[in-house]
Amino acid sequence: MAEVITGITRSGEAWTPEFVTELNQSTCIGCGRCYKVCPRDVFDLVEREMDDSDYDDDYEDIDDDVVMVMSIKNAMDCIGCSACSRVCPKNCHTHSPQAASA
């Protein structure tokens, strides 16, 4: 198994960053919190057509069949801080450690 990327904190402790790998648009409410907290421009707001499962309390004022949700725009710019998942009220983000390049 390949070694994963690791870092050292200021206190000298080892730290393994977990990079965003997926964003579940079916649970995303397009609040933009992940976009605002991300220091690297990883996310973008995009349109998604709604299906029957979208019509619930999260989308009270919908006038058409399109909803705005977040998407991963630049996954390779992610630094693995996981700030996006800490601010997401719907737990839309999936993260994982990544293999170190040789």
Residue 63 has a pLDDT of: 57
Reported as a single tens digit per residue, the pLDDT across 48-102 is: 877 665 555 555 555 567 889 999 999 999 999 999 999 999 999 999 999 987 5
In a domain, 33, yes or no: yes
Write the CA distances from 82 to 42, 64, 65, 86, 92, integer angstroms. 12, 33, 31, 7, 12
Which residue's entry shows tokens 């006038």? 63
In single-letter form, the type of residue at position 2 comes to: A
Residue 102 has a pLDDT of: 59
Residue 54 has a pLDDT of: 55
* Residue range(s) defining the domain that contains residue 28: 22-93
Degrees to nearest 5, angle at CA 41 with 38 and 45: 95
CATH of the domain at 28: 3.30.70.3270
pTM tops 0.85, yes or no: no
Residue 50 has a pLDDT of: 73
Domains contained in the chain, number? 1
In a domain, 2, yes or no: no
Reported as a single tens digit per residue, the pLDDT across 15-53 is: 999 999 999 999 999 999 999 999 999 999 999 877 665
Residues in contact with 84: Cβ distance below 8 Å, sequence separation at least 6, in sequence order = 20, 33, 34, 37, 38, 42, 43, 93
